[in-house]
Chain A
């Protein structure tokens, strides 16, 4: 009876390779811990962000119209609420001029009439600390501080709105629900639905935003219910949105953030896989000769495969167990430890589901990434005993079948993490392309290096050792470059996300916008607001043609986003703003021989992209009746965004100075000062409209702070985990590289010489890997930012240089450390081991 498994042999093998096995176990458990942690955090953050989005929009589903809901939609909503499938709250929002009870003053306010139950999500904080629902009721309203400050009244006073007299019961400190449009002219007033009829403001001839907010009993039904409601709604009049797709500037940001988190999951998965693969490969490569010997006694390929598959599985199981143990161990402490770095509602849960998912995914990753190294065993021939180079694996049908199955498995995982089929495939395609590219590049560079005649003996020997037949240089470079690239991708994407969204909310962001400042009011206005404020001239004009080609208005107007057919705001100035950089053209404007600017225009990159415009193009504008042909002489880009004013088209001052214009100012004023300043402005210049965006800016700033924490933490976590994985795989490959040094010593080289060669070798490995990593990461991060996130891209070369430096230092130090025992010991000891 033949035994299927030789248990003693297996045990002996496990014990014998304990050093490499330990590294492999470390890799598996590290990978597992990072995977479990990343996924646990990701779900939490997903929940938290969804919560934020719900609070922002006030419901799971938002029905929006400028009229009462149509019969069909109304019936559908009633059906949902009666069937206990959803809770509904109606709101009516409109502007109205509120008056003091003695008619001595009035103010345009942003009135929102809300039904009982509001807010469904999020909260309304009142100055007194009382519950919103207990304060607002018949005859009682709550108002923003601006109402009191601007009208000079206090809580308890009365306010006339429409035909009703209200008592101001409290002050709104914070309201999470924000209108889709962030900019509101008046301060907020919240009124109970019971008072709607009494005010007599919502009727024929009123302009009102009618909203019905729905909170679903079962959150998973949101999308299907929304789709059903959408079918019932009147096209072009009624909008049905979910908290996820509601059209706010924030949506894009949330989407991007979630995508970034998925990206990190995927990168961690791949990093884990690469770590596992390279450390296992290292073990198996060291054993290659052993396999050949065993085969020479008549062991079948299946016998070897069986034993080493079990070998790997046992180690993986130990790694998994260790990973879970560590996961459970840190579970309690990690959240505490990281509480400074994490937003309050994010904790490391590591639930049973997380753990079991981690184990399943870990096992899949182990199987996928150990398949190739294990497959080699099957094909090792005893002849390897006599020759040092490894034999080429014979690839059978089964091999390809397994590859296909493995890839399908990986695809499923990627799609699961990225949440979308096409994205998963793009991602996989991108990775394969990069892999191919870096392999080709390595080959090419190694080929050229082999053609160079090196004069210095050290360099020559180092080169020989890297390029000797059967070398593993290429695979080392590839396995090092890919995880480095993944880490760099995470870093670069994080940096760009931060740059686009988070850093654009500095403490001195504008809090008050002033529109319609007239030409003759400039000085007086500046005197009133004090300080240095830039007044941007605004000249309305239309773009008629680009290079003689007339802008197709019909087509442009159908565009969902910004279009070229609308009226544009031109401005003039002769210098770049602080947050602008030139991306094309040498300077903002070209000058003629006399030093005067010719007639020309500078474009913002976004509008240039919109109309596919470039330097030298001739644009024809119609400035309220006067046509003007201008050449594009520069293209600008912005380094900040969101709340800062920006202009698509800038002209030299001399050509627009006389055109009809108003001025626009963005001021930074402390939020408690704003109402008083607004009052002064309105008193001095009744034509000027002010928009208080302090709340918006503060709220955005708060959210960005939170998100920046998340993004930073996540990136740091995965970079740390990835770094550890890389270090362990460098350690794993180290064993095979130190063999070379033995021979140098036998030949009589002194320690300095050995160190020298090792230094050169590792320098080259580090340099090649990090440079390839940068090339890959730049390409990938740019594509991600450009195609998936739709944000501008800054390459961050400083970080890239840092990466090169760090990698070289790491690789060289680890390499040199590995060579020290060789330098110390007598060569004979090593020779004995080699035999």
Chain B
């Protein structure tokens, strides 16, 4: 996540996109390194696990990984157009962690995510918003302000809302890489399981449209 400078970043994954054939539902997972699957093989990232699970349950869905490591909410906002170019039916939005780790003003983060949600709403994309909770060391005031962003926006836009993306995973050394921050393969399994019901809700909503 928090890697920067020139071009020294890391990460993984590939995707295939293009047109929407025979009613297949396109789910685009947008986000930062937590979506991209920093430090794990591509098939271990949560979008890959999610896609596999949906397929095995008989849903005609394709999950596209559009995670960009080290990206902040500002970066994501600037590429919403690009994301919409992928013709998504459903977008899973996970962003803001890097903003928080850099101590960026929560007001700014909120505004960015609001703008993103607005653009998605305009494009009539069903959105699953993944909430983020900031690490405690940033201080109670900041953490409180930051953590408040997601439920507020979920209410405002009436999107499907997963309260905490890293639920049951954060701060567990056995589920994290040695940086203590990014989940490992086992961590992503839990994330995929946690997010599955919310995505399913979106899929059903799409099928019922």
Chains A and B touch (C-beta atoms under 8 A apart): yes
Which B residues are CB-close (under 8 A) to A97? Answer: 103, 138-139, 141-142
Q: How far is the CA of A641 from the CA of B13 in the complex (A)?
A: 29
Q: Please tell me if A161 contacts chain B, counting CB pairs below 8 Å.
A: yes
B179 to A, closest residue via Cβ:
A66
Name B119-149 residues within 8 Å CB distance of A: 133, 135-142
Name A205's contact: one of B7, B68, B135, B178 (CB within 8 Å): B135
- Give the distance to chain B from A742, nearest Cβ to Cβ, in Å: 70
Stretch at the interface among B53-61, B75-83, B194-202: B75-83
**How does the 8 Å CB contact mask read for A538-573 relative to B, with 1 for contact and 0 for none?**
101010100000000110010000110111110100
Residues of B within 8 A of A237 (CB): 173, 178, 180
Contact of A687 among B11, B16, B112 (CB under 8 A): B112
Cβ < 8 Å to A, chain B residues 159-197: 170-171, 173, 176-181
**In the complex where A565-B12, A687-B72, A691-B4 touch, is A99 in contact with B139 (Cβ < 8 A)?**
yes
Q: How far is the CB of A194 from chain B (nearest CB, A)?
A: 18
**A569 near B7 (CB under 8 angstroms)?**
yes
Q: Do A554 and B41 touch across chains, with their CB atoms under 8 A apart?
A: yes
Chain A residues with CB under 8 A of B204: none
| Cα A647 to Cα B140 with chains together (Å) | 39
CA separation between A565 and B139, bound complex, in Å? 35
Are B138 and A567 interface neighbours, CB within 8 A? no
Partner of A207, one of B6, B15, B181: B181
A622 within 8 A of B: yes
Q: Which of A75-108 contact B (CB under 8 A)?
A: 94-99, 103, 106-108
Does B95 sit within 8 A of A, measured CB to CB?
no
- Asked if A500 is an interface residue, CB under 8 A from chain B, the answer is no
Whether A201 pairs with B136 at a CB distance below 8 angstroms is: yes
Contact of B17 (CB < 8 Å), options: A201, A626, A662, A686: A626
Taking the closest CB of chain A, its distance from the CB of B144, in whole angstroms, is 11
A429 CB to closest chain B CB, in angstroms?
A: 37
Within 8 A of A (CB), among B75-125: 75, 77-79, 81-83, 85-86, 99, 101-105, 107-108, 112
A204 touches B171 (CB 8 A): yes
Contact A686 B108 (CB under 8 A): yes
Confirm or deny: A358 has a beta carbon within 8 angstroms of a beta carbon on chain B: no
Q: Contacts A516-B74, A645-B5, A687-B112 hold; do A96 and B137 have CB atoms under 8 A apart?
A: yes
**Residues of B contacting A566 with CB < 8 Å?**
9-12, 69
Q: Which of A206, A544, A569, A626 sits near B14, CB closer than 8 Å?
A: A544
Q: Are A625 and B136 in contact (CB under 8 A)?
A: no
With contacts A96-B137, A108-B103 taken as known, whether A553 is within 8 angstroms of B12 at the C-beta atoms is yes
Confirm or deny: A661 has a beta carbon within 8 angstroms of a beta carbon on chain B.
yes
- Contact residue among A111, A183, A554, A567 (Cβ-Cβ distance under 8 Å from B69): A567
B180 touches A185 (CB 8 A): no
- Any chain B CB within 8 A of the CB of A132? no
Are the CB atoms of B15 and A625 closer together than 8 Å?
Answer: yes
A95 partner, pick from B78, B112, B137, B180, beta carbons under 8 A? B137
Please determine whether B104 and A687 come into contact, CB atoms closer than 8 angstroms: yes
Segment 108-131 of A: residues with Cβ below 8 Å from B:
108, 111
User: Is A831 an interface position by the 8 A CB rule?
Assistant: no
Is the beta-carbon distance between A659 and B82 smaller than 8 angstroms? yes
A675 to chain B, nearest CB (A): 15
Inter-chain contact B68/A624, CB cutoff 8 Å: yes
B138 and A646: CB pair below 8 A?
A: no
Bound CA span A686–B108, Å:
7
| Given known contacts A95-B137, A565-B12, A569-B9, A660 and B178 CB-to-CB distance under 8 angstroms | no
Say how far A660's CB is from chain B's closest CB, in angstroms: 3
Q: How large, as a class, is the contact surface on chain A?
A: 35 or more
- Give complex CA distance A72, B141 in Å: 36
| Cβ–Cβ contact B12 & A540, under 8 A | no
Q: Which residues of B contact A622 (CB under 8 A)?
A: 14-15
| Smallest CB gap from B99: residue in A | A687
Whether B78 and A185, one on each chain, are in contact in the complex, defined by CB atoms closer than 8 angstroms, is no
Q: Which residues of A contact B140 (CB under 8 A)?
A: 162-163, 200
Q: A545 — nearest CB in chain B belongs to which residue?
A: B14
Q: Is the CB of B136 within 8 A of A689?
A: no
Cα of A203 to Cα of B72 in the assembled complex, Å:
26
| Interface flags, B23-40, vs A, CB<8A=1, else 0 | 000001000000010011
Residues of chain A within 8 A (CB-CB) of B17 are 625-626
Please name all residues of chain A whose beta carbon is closer than 8 Å to the beta carbon of B108 when the two chains form the complex.
686-687
The answer to whether A236 touches B178 (Cβ under 8 A) is yes
Asked whether, in the complex, the Cβ of B102 is within 8 Å of the Cβ of A689, the reply is yes
**Is residue A513 contacting chain B, with contact meaning CB distance below 8 A?**
yes
Question: How long is the Cα–Cα vector from A239 to B108 in the complex, in angstroms?
Answer: 37
- Residues A567 and B137 in contact in the complex (CB < 8 Å), given A108-B103, A205-B171, A624-B79: no
A201 adjacent to B12 (CB under 8 Å)? no
A542 touches B69 (CB 8 A): no
The reply to whether A162 and B5 form a contact with Cβ atoms under 8 Å apart is no
A185-B101 Cα distance, complex, nearest whole Å: 10
B141 touches A99 (CB 8 A): yes
Which chain B residues lie closer than 8 Å to A687 at the CB level? 72-74, 99, 104, 108, 112
Q: Are A518 and B9 in contact (CB under 8 A)?
A: no
Chain B min CB distance to A670 (Å) = 21
Bound form: Cα–Cα A236–B6 in Å = 28
Residue of A nearest to B9 (CB): A567
Nearest B-chain residue to A566, judged by Cβ? B10
Contact of A661 (CB < 8 Å), options: B78, B170, B176: B78
Contact with B101, one of A95, A205, A647 (Cβ below 8 angstroms)? A95
A67 and B177 alpha carbons, distance in the complex (Å): 12
Give Cα A562–Cα B74 distance, bound, in whole angstroms.
27
Asked if B72 contacts A540 (CB within 8 A), the reply is no
Report the nearest A residue to B103, measured CB to CB: A108
Whether B9 lies near A625 (C-beta < 8 A) is no
B141 with A646: CB separation less than 8 A = no
Q: Determine whether the beta carbon of B101 is less than 8 Å from that of A557.
A: no
Contacts of B112 in A (CB 8 A): 687
| A775 close to chain B: CB less than 8 A | no
Residues of B within 8 A of A659 (CB): 82
Contact between chains at A557 and B39 (CB < 8 Å)? yes
Chain B's closest residue to A646 (CB) is: B6
Q: Are A660 and B102 interface neighbours, CB within 8 A?
A: no
> B69 touching A553 by the CB < 8 A rule?
no
A227 to B128, CA, bound (A): 49
CA distance in complex: A394, B59 (Å)? 90
Closest A residue to B69 using CB positions: A567
> Please, which residue of chain B has its CB at the minimum distance from the CB of A200?
B140
List the A side residues contacting B83 at CB < 8 Å: 624-625
Closest residue of chain A to B17, judged by CB?
Answer: A625
Could you say which of B36, B177, B178 has the most chain A C-beta atoms within 10 Å of its C-beta? Answer: B178
- Cβ of B87 to closest chain A Cβ, rounded Å: 10
Residues of B within 8 A of A203 (CB): 136
A191 within 8 A of B: no
Q: Is A413 an interface residue (CB 8 A)?
A: no
Using A689-B4, A691-B5 as known contacts, say yes or no to A625 and B82 having CB atoms under 8 A apart: yes
Asked if A615 is at the interface (CB within 8 A of a chain B CB), the reply is: no
Which chain B residues lie closer than 8 Å to A66 at the CB level? 173, 176, 178-181
In the complex, A518 Cα to B115 Cα: how many Å? 15
Give CA–CA (A686, B10) in the complex, Å.
Answer: 25
Q: Specify which of B7, B14, B77, B81 is in contact with A542 (CB 8 Å cutoff).
A: B14
From B4, which residue of chain A is reached at the shortest CB distance? A515
CA distance A638 to B85 in the complex (A): 36
Q: Is the CB of A645 within 8 A of B6?
A: yes
Residue positions of A touching B, CB distance < 8 A:
65-67, 94-99, 103, 106-108, 111, 161-163, 183, 185-186, 200-208, 236-237, 239, 513, 515-516, 518-519, 538, 540, 542, 544, 553-554, 557, 562-563, 565-569, 571, 622, 624-627, 645-648, 659-662, 664, 686-687, 689, 691
The contact sample of 8 A-B pairs, CB cut-off 8 A, is A67-B180, A183-B5, A185-B102, A201-B139, A236-B177, A538-B7, A569-B6, A687-B112
In the complex, besides A204-B171, A542-B12, 9 extra interface pairs with C-beta distance below 8 angstroms are A66-B180, A66-B181, A200-B140, A207-B181, A553-B12, A565-B12, A624-B79, A627-B16, A687-B74
Top 6 nearest A-B pairs (CB, nearest first) are A108-B103, A66-B180, A660-B79, A566-B10, A569-B7, A567-B11
